[in-house]
Amino acid sequence: MPEKKSNNSKKHGDFSKFIKPSKKQTRNRMKLSEKNEDTDYKKKTIKKTTSLPPSSSPEFIRLNRYIANAGVCSRRGADELIVACEIKINGEVVTELGTKVGRNDKVEYKGKLLNPEKLVYLLLNKPKGFITTTDDPYDRKTVMSLIEKACDERILPVGRLDLNTTGLLLFTNDGDVAKKLTHPKHGIKKIYHVVLNKPLEKDDLFKIATGLELEDGSIKVDKIAYAENGMDKKQIGLELHSGKNRIVRRIFESLEYRVIRLDRVSFAGLTKKDVPRGKWRLLQDIEINRLKMIS
């Protein structure tokens, strides 16, 4: 059922690659290339290199993207690993940023071979009673069981929802997007539907709107209003960008209210439309592009 909207609610570039070289220049470059290859093969005792060994694949991607696609970290994090001599290509340590890698190249991190997967973006409408973790030592139900047949790629939840919190939870193996959506500086907005144990007094609504002081610092929501046109003051609509642990519940607990139900109805512009409780869907290209444009 469609969700009701709340009323409150230069530098010049390098053109050298476009200039066609003369036949003489082409022959000289080929001779130089052959000479360099012979030199590389003779240096068998050198274990460390700053460039990528020749690849048999005609298709190349940047090494940091390859690492991010494998789910290790973001591209920026991958650059740090490369500079720190943590990455090997075909058995050789690579330290040069901007290195490109082909499909047939073997990339290693900490002795393990990386497998660059197809990027997957999945949106789950989490039901109550599932914890947000990949594995639970107490054998409780996890959100991973709800998406286990969704794809072959290893996707992970972006952020988390409490055991008794329902609503939108995004999964992906795109390290860059996951980092953007969880880093505080990007201020990713989330909208919650809150049901309290008693009507929220107007004075308390005003206190929340203007900001509260909690044990771990101050918190101010972006928007707050009574839901259902104000007919039931136990139901509240809340928009905020904070990612602090249990922040919505703690806001109301600080004013002596108890949250009976908490549902995340919007996350980073994504909504629950066409996603029933306990079900999931893959994001459309336009939604994926919007997430990637976050800066």
CATH value at residue 229 = 3.30.2350.10
pLDDT of 243 > 60? The answer is: yes
Confidence of residue 118 (pLDDT cuts 50, 70, 90): confident
Residue 226 within a domain: yes
Confidence of residue 276 (pLDDT cuts 50, 70, 90): very high
Query: What ranges in 183-282 are assigned the alpha helix state H?
Result: 202-210, 247-253
If asked whether residues 73 and 211 sit together in one domain, one would say no
If asked whether residues 171 and 260 sit together in one domain, one would say yes
In whole angstroms, give the CA distance from residue 205 to residue 103. 56
DSSP structural state of residue 131: B
If asked whether residues 139 and 269 sit together in one domain, one would say yes
Confidence of residue 69 (pLDDT cuts 50, 70, 90): confident
The last residue of a domain, from among 58, 78, 113: 113
In one-letter notation, the amino acid at residue 202 is: K
Task: Specify the number of domains making up the chain.
Answer: 2
Which pLDDT value is given to residue 147?
Answer: 97
- What residue numbers bound the domain in which 275 lies? 121-292
Residue 60 within a domain: yes
* Contact yes or no for 266/190 (Cβ under 8 A): yes
Q: What is the pTM of this model?
A: 0.66
CATH code, domain with 70? 3.10.290.10
Nearest to 163 by CA among 76, 262, 88: 262
Residue 198 within a domain: yes
If asked whether residues 208 and 276 sit together in one domain, one would say yes
In whole angstroms, give the CA distance from residue 193 to residue 195. 7
If asked whether residues 65 and 126 sit together in one domain, one would say no
Q: What is the percent of the chain with per-residue pLDDT over 70, rounded to a whole number?
A: 80
Catalytic site residue 176?
Answer: no
The last residue of a domain, from among 62, 95, 113: 113
If asked whether residues 232 and 194 sit together in one domain, one would say yes
* Contact yes or no for 209/257 (Cβ under 8 A): no
Strand runs labelled E in 135-204: 156-157, 165-172, 190-196
* Contact yes or no for 247/254 (Cβ under 8 A): no
If asked whether residues 279 and 142 sit together in one domain, one would say yes
Residue 254 within a domain: yes
pLDDT of 18 > 70? The answer is: no
Q: Which two tokens stand for residue 114?
A: 């990386």
Instruction: Please pick, among 40, 162, 204, 222, the residue that the annotation labels catalytic.
Output: 162
DSSP structural state of residue 142: B
pLDDT of 94 > 80? The answer is: yes
Between residues 208 and 17, which one has the greater pLDDT?
208
The last residue of a domain, from among 113, 130, 147: 113
> By CB neighbour count within 10 A (0-12 exposed, 13-18 middle, 19+ buried), where does 82 fall?
buried
If asked whether residues 204 and 272 sit together in one domain, one would say yes
Between residues 163 and 23, which one has the greater pLDDT?
163
In one-letter notation, the amino acid at residue 189 is: K
In whole angstroms, give the CA distance from residue 82 to residue 150. 32
Span 39-57, pLDDT tens digits:
554 444 334 444 444 443 4
If asked whether residues 75 and 187 sit together in one domain, one would say no
Question: If you average pLDDT over residues 82-111, what whole number do you get?
Answer: 89
